[in-house]
Amino acid sequence: MFGLDKKDSTLLILVAVLTLLAPFILNPFPSDSGLAQFNAGYPDLMQRFVIFGIFAIGFNILFGLTGYLSFGHAAFLGVGSYSAVWMFKLLSMNILPAIILSVIISGLFALVIGFVSLRRSGIYFSILTLAFAQMSFALAYSVLTPITNGETGLQIALDDPRIFGGAVAADGSIPVTNLFGLEMRSAFDMAVGPWSFTFSAGYYVCAIVMLIAFYLAIRIFRSPFGMMLRAIKSNQTRMNYTGLNPKPYTLAAFVISGMYAGLAGGLMASMDPLAGAERMQWTASGEVVLMTILGGAGTLIGPVLGAGAIKYMENIFSKINDNVLHGWFAFLPDGMEDAVVWILHPFVGKGWHLTLGIIFMLVVIFLPGGLVEGGQRIARAFKGKKAKETSEKATTEPAE
């Protein structure tokens, strides 16, 4: 299907089903139960899942295939966001021109940074990208304040020109982002007994874009170009000796992954028309590295899983405060309740970073292949012998 082999088609369909049914899958608990705290099926978070999924997929094309560890990818995300918001200010509230421009601009940006940074490899490359990203952050944060509005963040206003019309909505307020009239904010609530599911237009737009991005990533992974990138990862010197110049390939991979980041940034601004400098900070760049490694670098689905896991922790765990904890453990005797809450307190609420850190360490130590490896191990344990047979079969196939 679509030029993919069976295994990849299955994966693509699986991802498609998961993303399209996400409003159900992420809201497993009735909305009035105590466990509703863990529901993640609200538009903002679902949008974040897929947007950061796109970001991580793009990052994985560079890191997973070529092994070049960029510590400055958030810069492209930020550039994408700023370009998109400027399109909303100048052209119209349609998200299409905004997204296209954000991909183009971040691609150009990646071309410049990549051209310079890729003169070095290994740790020097990482440091160079980090330096460029911090430079962009500093520029956005204070120097380029007229373009970026500094710390306050770039927002759309009533008196923006928007030359393609729609400067002011019918009711005199700031218009909302749309795709040919389909408002990104519009949502449809469906109540089924005690459950409630929200279908948001913005989420489905993001989800479809992510599926396209995912499909493209599979094609890149399976293409001769992808093979060349893997060759760079395994032994660049050998490639040089065989007379191949790896530089154009790495630069292409860098630009492609920068464009993915720009796409994510543009989508982010389309869902919520605001761009802030903190999106470009080195912590944001580090986050996508964490996502990719947590999910499984070099695998197709890994980065998406990693992005989902981190965003879930950030948005759900950080919301659990002491009050909620006391509510959960109210059944325990007083002294014990306080003790349990005291133990859990550092791990939830603003301490969610600590929980994330522990999980990350456990994954890196025990599952070097990330969550994907965990899934594979579980699958193997369940299937047992059968899986072994098929794998044997696969290895005995003759080489082409």
Partner 1 sequence: MSNNLTRRGVLKSGAVAGAGVALPTIFTASSASAFTNEPTGSNVVLGFNVPQTGPYADEGADELRAYELAVEHLNGGGDGGMMGTFSSKALDGTGILGKKVDYVTGDTQTKSDAARASAKSMIEKDGAIMITGGSSSGVAVAVQGLCQEAGVIFMAGLTHSNDTTGKDKKANGFRHFFNGYMSAAALAPVLKNLYGTDRKAYHLTADYTWGWTQQESIAAATEAMGWETVNNVLTPLAATDFSSYIAPVKDSGADVLVLNHYGGNMVNSLTNAVQFGLRNAQANGKNFEIVVPLFSRLMARGAGENIKGIVGSTNWHWSLQDEGSKAFVKSFGTKYGFPPSQAAHTCYVQTLLYADAVQRAGSFNPCAVVEALEGFEFDGMGNGPTLYRAEDHQCFKDVLVVKGKENPTSEFDLLEVVEVTPASQVTYAPDHPMFAGGALGTCNPGA
In the complex, the residues that contact partner 1 under the rule CB under 8 A are 1, 6, 9-10, 13, 17, 21, 24, 39, 42-45, 48, 141-142, 145, 150-153, 155, 157-159, 171-174, 176, 185, 188-192, 198, 272, 274, 276, 278-279, 315, 318-319, 321, 349-350
**In angstroms, what is the minimal distance from the CB of 125 to partner 1?**
27
Token reading at 204: 């489905």
**In angstroms, what is the minimal distance from the CB of 176 to partner 1?**
6
CA distances from 245 to 231, 239, 255 (A): 11, 7, 17
The span from the CA of 244 to the CA of 224, in Å, is 14
- Amino acid making up residue 71: F
**In angstroms, what is the minimal distance from the CB of 155 to partner 1?**
6
Instruction: Give whichever of 63 and 317 is closer to partner 1, judged by the CB atom.
Output: 317
**In angstroms, what is the minimal distance from the CB of 285 to partner 1?**
15
Q: Which residue has the tokens 């996400």?
A: 22
Q: Which helix (H) or strand (E) holds 183?
A: strand 182-183
**In angstroms, what is the minimal distance from the CB of 363 to partner 1?**
23
The span from the CA of 259 to the CA of 254, in Å, is 9
Instruction: Give whichever of 37 and 121 is closer to partner 1, judged by the CB atom.
Output: 37
Looking only at Cα atoms, what is the longest distance across the chain? 74
Instruction: Give whichever of 11 and 251 is closer to partner 1, judged by the CB atom.
Output: 11
Cα 185 to chain centroid, rounded? 20
**In angstroms, what is the minimal distance from the CB of 159 to partner 1?**
7
Instruction: Give whichever of 189 and 334 is closer to partner 1, judged by the CB atom.
Output: 189
Q: Quick one: DSSP state of residue 263? A: H
Instruction: Give whichever of 21 and 336 is closer to partner 1, judged by the CB atom.
Output: 21
Instruction: Give whichever of 191 and 381 is closer to partner 1, judged by the CB atom.
Output: 191
Q: With 0-12 CB in 10 A as exposed, 13-18 as middle and 19+ as buried, what is 198?
A: middle
CB distance 71 to 129 below 8 Å: yes
